[in-house]
Homo-oligomer: A and B are copies of this chain.
Amino acid sequence: MTHMATRRPARKRPAEVGYRTRVAGERRLRTRARILESAVGVFARKGPDAPVIDDFIRAAGVARGTFYNYFTSTEELLAATTHRLEDDLMVRIERELESLDDPVLRLATGVRLWLRWARSDRTFCEFIVRSRFRGELVERIVTTDLRRARAAGEFSFRSLPIARDLVVGTIRESMNRILQDSVPRSYVDEVARLILRGVGLNERRIRAALERPVPAMRPPRRTPS
């Protein structure tokens, strides 16, 4: 009993304990953010399967032991990186969509915002294309709006998964093209046009949806301060 007691750290005043804990917690979050941040670049360059732990340690500039305090495998890191990207991007897009109730406009605007972003952020674009990224929030938003627009009689398709595959597949292939060619500004709206047609929207409504201005959205904060 006495022996165990001596091994306990000296007792701190409560305020000091709170300060130290908070500082340690903040440092932990910053280190985690730094690892995730540099991991986006590694996955973008090497794809999801090729990188090894050393690649991430080198990119983040942390010690091996430090790295393992946060992640134990590249799979775990890939999952966390994907979540972070989803937070960065989809939360911002969803904020823009909040003011829209019409599911047709929500889908059209979401596609346009996503592709504009892809055009402006090459690392993000490469990560998504190479990582077989499947964000849960993206899925929820896309399928909800597809379902609602079909229920409203605006979209028409027999299979929701196939409509979703057309939307996501076309976007993904377009991002691939963005990485390879320099695409004109008009590109984004033309992709949205063919997608909206594919899910069955009529031409008049497509024109109306694409005539609306796209909300300005600032690019995501890449490097944590």
A contacts, CB < 8 Å to B: 46-50, 132, 157-159, 161-163, 165-166, 168-174, 176-177, 181, 187, 190-191, 194-195, 197-200
Contact = CB atoms under 8 A, between A and B. Distances in A.
13 contacts: A132-B176, A159-B187, A165-B170, A165-B176, A166-B166, A166-B173, A168-B173, A169-B171, A172-B172, A194-B198, A194-B199, A197-B198, A197-B200
A173 B177 contact: no
Contacts of A197: 197-198, 200
Contacts of A169: 169-174
A138 B161 CA distance: 25
A163 B194 contact: yes
A162 B194 contact: yes
A157 B47 contact: no
A142 B168 CA distance: 20
Nearest to A196: B198
Contacts of A166: 166, 170, 173, 191, 194-195, 198
A147 to B, nearest CB: 15
A173 B174 contact: no
Contacts of A195: 166, 198
Contacts of A174: 162, 165, 169
**A-B complex: 7 closest residue pairs judged by Cβ atoms:** A169-B173, A198-B198, A49-B50, A169-B169, A165-B173, A47-B49, A169-B170
